[in-house]
Structure 1
């Protein structure tokens, strides 16, 4: 079978480690060396053999290889018909339709293996939780509804997805997906039946989908440590999201709106030599209000100037920081150990502007402000790169309507992007 996988021009700069494939149990370093020195076609076959090994049937593994090859090499729209025509193994359009839309294979083990190969080559600077819309006509594709798209600030008839993205200054790689189910789908038996919606898939708060995208990676996949960056500007409340991230003991940076509730605690005791500087007894109650109100209260406080590069241009802005307690009521644990939950409000306030342009809540209080500011710039880069990914690898070209088929397709698109990136890094290593 003759394959000619594409090699996109991807920069192998900062955040890149020497490429080695994820090593299965029992494999040796010599096995990794052999993989690195494979030819282009053999490398593609080895990649497919690894990520599709959890598919138990030979015909499924072959169909997965054909579908992936089509996403990488088919020009224009990645329709199943065009990808089948590209196949040297003469996979029929019907067999590819069956593989994506009807076959009940589990996408999660494939995503796990993809993540393993990826983090062996690329060190994440952050895990960015992003959002993508899949515009649709009609009303019968899984989870389609006329709904507000937070990332685009508009209403659209679409499917809406949250996605966990491995992010660096050079790369944004989608690794885990959730399809957001609108409330009207809860009891619409006709549409649920047509879309083959699992009975356990029910509408839930949006923040839960954001958390779920990283839960698989934390609990089962051994996610590489990195801050979680989330845009929550459009959420009515961020308390539950922050609590979920805190419960999982994750470092995080969450962008919020000016109306989010905060508790300002300038007199909270800090540890010095393992002991509180200030005895935690009767203390002034924290000031309560919105982030916008707090900034107005602190408008005359000193601000720090931070610069960063973007597309070879240097940008500068002023930033105000304030110690806060997490949104929500005080708990007995907070009262007994008030240093346990220290957070910070970070405010982007450009020079000569009367009001700020961005608010973030973070528990990265031990990190430098310049590091935190660099993380605040990642979500915009991620969204732009994902839109580029959508056209290059056919993210929005899925023609089916089923819930399982949608997950199968986006998993294959992630595989295409990860393969193209790893193949580019492999070529750089061998040069």
Structure 2
């Protein structure tokens, strides 16, 4: 971030804050947003409300008043997360798409580790952030990706049934009445619907097997006019298609199909991009299939892509891909591998912008804090797109760019 802050960068930041302020309305909200955002963009180990207030106020006697002002903005002030996020998305897309088109919409989730039991949505649950079951909140995200940039545009807090169906907890956490229990795939579809309604340029929907194994999720994505390239679990049943596109033989799990293909030499080595240390490669098999066990109205020819890494006893990943036949095998592989870029985005959002530093307990506060972090990230991505055009770097290098590069 610091490398962007020449005189023109500062002018763009001020103009950007003005755009967000126009959405927020009111001088008090405008000022509070600017203070909060600069607290996230600036230095400081902790980026929750209290330390942001302390750094923003040089007079110790006025720190508490500043703390209360920012706390009100984050928790009690009634402003639209969707409208603010929409403005931030449009700003970043303006810079990103001047260079490259949107290729993918990426669905994923991340954990917000917690110590206590009172933060909204917290419970012991699995999160890939920790690689285990732990006490945490889970946020489901939707991101947009070009070949070299990755922009998170929306987040939803996952509410376990122990929260969604508990009236006392709901009241204490100020969970709106219209917010009901939804699975993570349902939250993802909700965000995809919003993005389509907002006119976001379409891309192929990418997700891991927690989402892609749901036939309902896949059907919803297709009904919304998007293609998908999603992970599925090993027991997902498919039926192989012959050269004429007709079902061939009995349905079988993708794991059993992988074993059959392995026995008959059906896997081939493919390198999909250059890594920081060495080329990234694995062995892949690609077959045309239809998903079994779904209504005929939802059946369509799909690609089954199977990744088998060197030295492992079974495949690492299985993907179902609905994109048309004109994509090559290498293009398909590069597409599905884009999903892992989200992990770097989470690291940047948490490590640099304090995404997971919010210490409040209430539903509106969590979403407001996340909205400000998304606004900050959108500005940085727009600046990076201006400073580092694709011609100046390879796609592999772009994926590895640190936030403040």
Q: Give TM-score, length-normalised by structure 2.
A: 0.85
Structure 1 residue 285 displacement after superposition: 6.5
Partner of 1:112: 86
Structure 1 residue 328 displacement after superposition: 3.2
Answer yes or no: is the 8 Å Cα contact 2:121–2:157 preserved in 1.
yes
Partner of 1:296: 259
Partner of 2:288: 323
Answer yes or no: is the 8 Å Cα contact 2:239–2:247 preserved in 1.
no
Answer yes or no: is the 8 Å Cα contact 2:212–2:230 preserved in 1.
no
Task: Decide which moves more: 304-313 or 363-372.
Answer: 304-313
Task: Decide which moves more: 251-260 or 405-414.
Answer: 251-260
Question: Whole-Å Cα distance in 1 between the matches of residues 240 and 130 of structure 2?
Answer: 32
Answer yes or no: is the 8 Å Cα contact 1:196–1:403 preserved in 2.
yes
Answer yes or no: is the 8 Å Cα contact 2:213–2:233 preserved in 1.
no
Render the CA deviation track for 1:107-152: whole Å, top value 9, x for unaligned: 1011111111111111433221111101112222111111122565
Answer yes or no: is the 8 Å Cα contact 1:228–1:250 preserved in 2.
yes
Question: Whole-Å Cα distance in 1 between the matches of residues 191 and 107 of structure 2?
Answer: 8
Structure 1 residue 356 displacement after superposition: 1.7
Partner of 1:25: none
Structure 1 residue 353 displacement after superposition: 4.9
The 3 A distance-change label for structure 1 pair 152 and 80 is closer
Answer yes or no: is the 8 Å Cα contact 2:237–2:291 preserved in 1.
no
Render the CA deviation track for 1:205-259: whole Å, top value 9, x for unaligned: 221112222221112x211122111012x46942111111111121211011211
Answer yes or no: is the 8 Å Cα contact 1:63–1:95 preserved in 2.
yes
Structure 1 residue 48 displacement after superposition: 0.6
Render the CA deviation track for 1:289-346: whole Å, top value 9, x for unaligned: 2111122233315333321212252122221111111343342686xxxxxx211100
Answer yes or no: is the 8 Å Cα contact 1:167–1:382 preserved in 2.
no
Partner of 2:401: none
Structure 1 residue 106 displacement after superposition: 0.8
Task: Identify the structure with the greater helix proportion.
Answer: 2
Answer yes or no: is the 8 Å Cα contact 1:178–1:209 preserved in 2.
yes
| Secondary structure at 1:407 match in 2 | helix
| Correspondence for 1:217 among 177, 195, 215 | 195
Question: Whole-Å Cα distance in 2 between the matches of residues 202 and 121 of structure 1?
Answer: 36
Structure 1 residue 177 displacement after superposition: 0.5
Q: CA RMSD in A?
A: 2.6
Question: Whole-Å Cα distance in 1 between the matches of residues 235 and 249 of structure 2?
Answer: 18
Which structure has the larger Rg over C-alpha atoms? 1
The 3 A distance-change label for structure 1 pair 351 and 93 is closer
Do residues 313 (structure 1) and 308 (structure 2) align?
A: no
State how 1:195-274 maps to structure 2 within 5 Å.
195-219=173-197, 221-232=198-209, 234=210, 237-266=213-242, 268-269=244-245
Answer yes or no: is the 8 Å Cα contact 1:260–1:291 preserved in 2.
yes
Structure 1 residue 46 displacement after superposition: 0.5
State how 1:168-183 maps to structure 2 within 5 Å.
168=146, 170-183=148-161
State how 1:372-411 maps to structure 2 within 5 Å.
372-411=332-371
Partner of 1:45: 14
Answer yes or no: is the 8 Å Cα contact 1:7–1:424 preserved in 2.
no
Partner of 2:319: 360
Structure 1 residue 175 displacement after superposition: 1.1
Gaps of 5+ in 1: 1-5, 11-36, 270-282, 335-340
Render the CA deviation track for 1:161-196: whole Å, top value 9, x for unaligned: 110122345433221011111011133122111110
